[in-house]
Structure 1
Amino acid sequence: MITTAAADGVRVVTLDRPARRNALTRAGLDDLAAAVDDADEPVVYLRGAGDAFCAGADLDIVADLDGETAPDFARLGQRVARTIETADSVVVAGIDGAARGGGVELALACDLRIATDRATFAESGVTLGLFGAWGGTARLPRVVGEADAMDLALSGRVVDADEALRMGLVSRVVDDPRRVATELADNDHDTLRVLKTRLRDDAPVSEQKEREAAAFGRLVEGADIDR
């Protein structure tokens, strides 16, 4: 279900279950977390095989959940999203096709979301009497703002790449998202890691500034700068 390959400083992680639009089982979620966590490349590129990025959770699994087992399944998805969010590598979601429900939530956990013009997005859980519980209700308003988050979550409507770009759900719409990942890997690897950590820091601003200054000092000490 999850395949990996590496080239040019990029670990390519593929959700490889195209017949089910790359829907994730428990084992698939565990394998995805391991693939991201084990990467020692500066950039991880997350993609889906076939014509979809990810349809989210496998509905056969969801159909078997009950009030006792559903929270544990939600926590598993949350842990995987957190693994992506806190990975040492910069994680780029390359979205070429449909992202639905949990697929949107995994993309939200990535550091960059790069789409093609074939990408579409929907928080479709509401149409099934559910909602995405892999951290999406926390991340979606943080990424797109409360108004657009409410619209997406409450309507379940599908938005195309241009509208996703307008609301900030994706950073760019390009022909080849992987090229963006490769270009990122050309930058200084230590600086990439520092910048990800600094930009993800949610401590009080005064603490962030101190950490920023200390991190800058460490980078300057090791930098090869012509003086």
Structure 2
Amino acid sequence: MSKVNFSVENQIGFIEINNPPVNALDQELLNELSVLLDNISNEIDVLIISGAGEKAFVAGADIGEFPQLSKETGEQLSLNGQRVFNKLEAMPQPVIAAIDGFALGGGLELALACDFRIATTRSQLGLPEVKLGIIPGYGGTQRLARLIGPGKAKQFIFSGEFISAEQAAQIGLVEEVTNESAIDEAKRWAKKIQSRGLLAVSAAKRAIHEGLQTTLQEGLALEANLFGEICETKDKNEGVTAFLEKREPKFMKI
């Protein structure tokens, strides 16, 4: 049985992590996810990631794989997880994490590789690796510090404590907390994004991601270059014309 389910609804893609009881990220699952990400069609406008069941989004890596790790095999395990999550982060489409339940360790690192995160009020988030005598290895030390700042990231990682969805929202770790279904709220955002110029959304995602890895001046130059490229698209012409004609635009699909 597959540990990663994929479906499409109205050009919104849904990835469900399905590895009971807590959707642990073992190597088999990561390999399945990697292959899936390589083969997702560009016809998908937005991607939503969730966890199966009612207990966890993803409660971490499979700790049963850790006892025999050496320096070499530990580094390879880390690099493999990073490679998969880098693919997710590099998707041209917006990727939304719909978190319900525990998002811990590798599970939170998976969510950090998404563009933004929606969590239910009952969710708990954490990077508890130090409690096992290890550190986050799938990008957590890097993405979390870039998202919430190094001080907060250090406090979070050094303590290994869990925090509530509300606390996560206060520090900018999740963008929205809902009393309802996280997937339904993610779908609402996905539909809103679908109504926009998707070429522009993809370009904006690239500008933000690549710009954060450079100086401000280099980021501004990238923004200007992408802005210029968008100006030559049918979407720019349609968007501007629709605005002037006071009607809804009909943008192209990417």
Fold shared by both chains (TM-score > 0.5): yes
* Amino acid aligned to 1:214: N
Answer yes or no: is the 8 Å Cα contact 1:42–1:88 preserved in 2: no
Matched, 1:3 2:5: yes
* Amino acid aligned to 1:73: L
Post-superposition offset of 1:82: 0.9
* Larger RCO (alpha carbons 8 Å, 6+ apart): 1
Residue-pair matches, total: 226
Matched, 1:45 2:48: yes
Aligned twin of 1:34: 35
* Amino acid aligned to 1:11: G
RMSD: 1.5
Aligned twin of 2:198: 189
Query: 1:13-69: CA deviations, max 9, x gaps?
Result: 0101132x1101112112112223322212111110012011221111122322331
Aligned twin of 2:248: none
Answer yes or no: is the 8 Å Cα contact 1:8–1:185 preserved in 2: no
Post-superposition offset of 1:8: 2.1
* Amino acid aligned to 2:70: D
Aligned twin of 1:129: 133
Answer yes or no: is the 8 Å Cα contact 1:125–1:131 preserved in 2: yes
Report the more deviating stretch, 97-106 or 207-216. 207-216
- DSSP-derived class of the 1:152 partner: helix
* Amino acid aligned to 2:66: V
Instruction: Normalising by structure 1, report the TM-score.
Output: 0.93
Matched, 1:208 2:219: yes
Could you tell me which runs of 5 or more consecutive residues in structure 1 were left unpaired when the two chains were aligned. none
Matched, 1:72 2:76: yes
Post-superposition offset of 1:113: 1.0
Query: 1:125-180: CA deviations, max 9, x gaps?
Result: 11111121111111111111122211211111110000000010001112233322
Could you tell me which runs of 5 or more consecutive residues in structure 2 were left unpaired when the two chains were aligned. 245-254
Post-superposition offset of 1:76: 0.4
Task: Note the 1:3-22 alignment, pairs <5 A.
Answer: 3-19=5-21, 21-22=22-23
Instruction: Normalising by structure 2, report the TM-score.
Output: 0.84
Answer yes or no: is the 8 Å Cα contact 1:53–1:96 preserved in 2: yes
Of structures 1 and 2, the larger Rg is shown by 2
* Amino acid aligned to 1:43: V
